[in-house]
Structure 1
């Protein structure tokens, strides 16, 4: 049985640390509530909790079957299962692996983020706490405020304030089934409007020295520390805009990085290769994205020399109409030059700031582009969305998606024998889309048993490597970081109704179980 770690943040941690795995790979749940209810083919009708659908009966795809060889009666507190017929029993609801405190905190955060009424004032309060000069409103100076935020907001989304907390958090996530984390550093260089307008002044003279000292060096130092905190198999995410004015000027004008910035990036990539911790170059706003794409390709050429295993990943946004052509051209370059292309595929989050005409006209168009690109990448075959006339290159894939349907499609494709060699991971943001993440964990446990028995019972195919994207830093730094991301990704943040519905459904399921009605 896996030992449940004890973390510094106490019982309100947002990580599924009360999940234990028995020797037979049946999930055992501990916590303040009793034995979670299993879905059964002869049980009463239930509402679907993975989305906003109000149909009365949950379809089979929403229920995770336990392998036929697994003892599946109750999910026991003491690690001993009560055998019953697996033919009549399906596995636990995905969120049953989470402690009640985590479910309630998720319900609170998604209720706010999915509400047009609650989200704006909540962001205003966050902004006041993140940027106020008053000690009473500064979480790094007010012990009570810091304690409250660390038990609520911070615990929901962040990894820790120091190396000890971060490592414990990562270990805790891995202990409950996650392959690893995507770790980001919360502290960023934030420029004034005047500095942003006068980017060219940082190229030489005293201003250049100031940019190097106050912007590039702190960014590089924080990124290197993040790489040291991560473990082999984890990822580290970086934003080039965090390096300040020299980076923004070069990216905006599609120039190579300055001498000092190039030295910093090289040092980061060298350490990533040495520790086998892949680096994700995050996508940013359209004004600088073309420059990021240029830099990404250059660093992939240099570091992605191992077939099928990338150290440098670029981020590709499926909601942009130009993404299939861009990705296709970079795949063609990788094919001709013989390096592995690292691909982080996301739908895109800058709907509120990117020019509308460069984005797909409808969500259905974006979904089709995302699923079509993902299918071609996993199969390593050109298709109707990705089209080129060269051999398909080696790829490493990270799918960033909160969409259950897309995740399920990718798993089904990946489970076919011809796709077995494709390096694939799937990630969601920490504190969000837990109904998708935990379903991967339940499926992963089922996969282990299936490999022993030779039987296949999972409905969405093989469970790939599962990750959570999480940031670390002080309480105030993390609030600033998450506030900036919330403003940049406001449209995406507001589309969290499925997570809210899933958390509410789990609360009701546990309440029914508590009074013996489930």
Structure 2
């Protein structure tokens, strides 16, 4: 039965921004700094032709031409709303306006604050966020599970200021795990945590400085350090720590112990709920401390065949591949199953600005092609590990080419459909064409689903949008696929 179209006028309005000339105007490399882009797409017909005209084995993996099959589980009203919101989000000044409003004195005026928050709530928040609290996020995850996708529940908390706020955040994460337990088995693929939400960033920076100094100086010993996988490579950035840092004070050591206990509490609850935990990456000033937390916990809890704790590698960093190989190989030698989430990266502006201010080389690849190559190389390395019975990976990408290459490589290596050690992920509200294409090809696919109160989540999302401007402005192919399906449904409804 054909889908009923509730809003034909809205659908007609989509034509103006979903035509090829619109994509050509908004997907050019000159529009944004190229390293911000997860994927850059030519006009839609050429993009699908590239996938179709490549090697026959590739076209059999991801079928993005059959939009009826791609969006078969998506109601028309939701498809219309998604197309409109993606169009609005692709207009770069919207990010600037949102940043200005959220940081302006307007937010101190009760009426204007209420209007602003209400507007955001019913537009971008509803599109890109999974809900207000853990229970609502769980219900949203259950809905996408009906369409064959899993949910990565992300309580959008970061940058706690003290132990009191860390403890409050801990309760939020524990409630998230409890909510996941109430859902159908496997509908939630991961709970996601940022270490800066349970360990004050200032302390995390101190720990990172000490870890960097230890790596460069063999005689330097850290009495509080626990067993861990390799954190650094020789190519890692060390300019954050130009001189020998002072040892942790007794108070800092106590706070470090408390932070570790918070993470272990989350890990233990995830084990009891049988829900894996992914620890997100952040900027390089604190990433060594984050990796230390991640790997030391993984050595405790990753036993048996399937890892419960996953770390994150940002492949726009020049040392990403070397660090991944060292950590994964060390875990394999120790008999510890280690999972990694591969992303391109989300802190480019701040990383480059800091490096420039210090007069040192940026830690980020010089070109987008180098970043793509690093992501694909890291993907190949992990897929070969999985094929050999070691490790697990989440490929978090919106890049069609990377997704297709990974799918082809997995098939060629004999990684069977439904293998839990290989998963793909895209942001909730974005790249649905790729998500459904991978799902239809038999792979495990998740949506990264941030949630929390509007006023808490919007600054978080705006910061991510500021760091990833090109990600939204290059959603042209998503909008093209949605327009194509909406036009098909409209024609079916009036015939």
RMSD between aligned alpha carbons? 3.3
Shift of 1:412: 2.0
Shift of 1:253: 3.7
Matched with 1:249 is 206
Any idea what the Cα deviations from partners look like across 1:408-466, whole Å, max 9, x if unmatched?
A: 2222222346323671111100111122112234x1xxxxxxxxxxxxxxxxxx42111
Aligned: 1:134 with 2:84? no
Cα distance in 1 for partners of 2:89, 2:210 equals: 36
Aligned: 1:182 with 2:152? yes
Higher helix share: 2
Cα distance in 1 for partners of 2:328, 2:299 equals: 12
Cα distance in 1 for partners of 2:492, 2:373 equals: 39
Matched with 2:246 is none
Cα distance in 1 for partners of 2:473, 2:44 equals: 20
SS of residue matched to 2:348: coil
Matched with 1:111 is 87
Aligned: 1:477 with 2:477? no
Shift of 1:340: 0.5
Matched with 1:335 is 332
SS of residue matched to 2:347: coil
* Runs of 5+ consecutive residues of structure 2 not aligned to the other structure: 9-18, 24-39, 54-64, 212-223, 226-254, 353-360
TM-score (norm 1): 0.68
Shift of 1:493: 4.1
Higher RCO (Cα < 8 Å, 6 or more apart):
2
Residues 1:33 and 1:379: Cα distance change in structure 2 (over 3 Å): farther
**Which of 472-481 and 507-516 deviates more?**
507-516
1:241-390 alignment, distance < 5 Å: 241-243=196-198, 244=200, 245-254=202-211, 258-307=256-305, 309-355=306-352, 357-380=362-385
Residues 1:338 and 1:57: Cα distance change in structure 2 (over 3 Å): closer
Cα distance in 1 for partners of 2:107, 2:491 equals: 44
Do the aligned partners of 1:47 and 1:56 also contact (CA within 8 Å) in 2? no
* Runs of 5+ consecutive residues of structure 1 not aligned to the other structure: 1-26, 35-45, 64-88, 192-210, 383-391, 444-461
SS of residue matched to 2:426: strand
Shift of 1:124: 2.3
Of 375, 397, 401, which residue of structure 1 is paired with 2:397?
401
Of 159, 163, 182, which residue of structure 1 is paired with 2:130?
159
Number of aligned residue pairs? 399
Shift of 1:399: 0.7
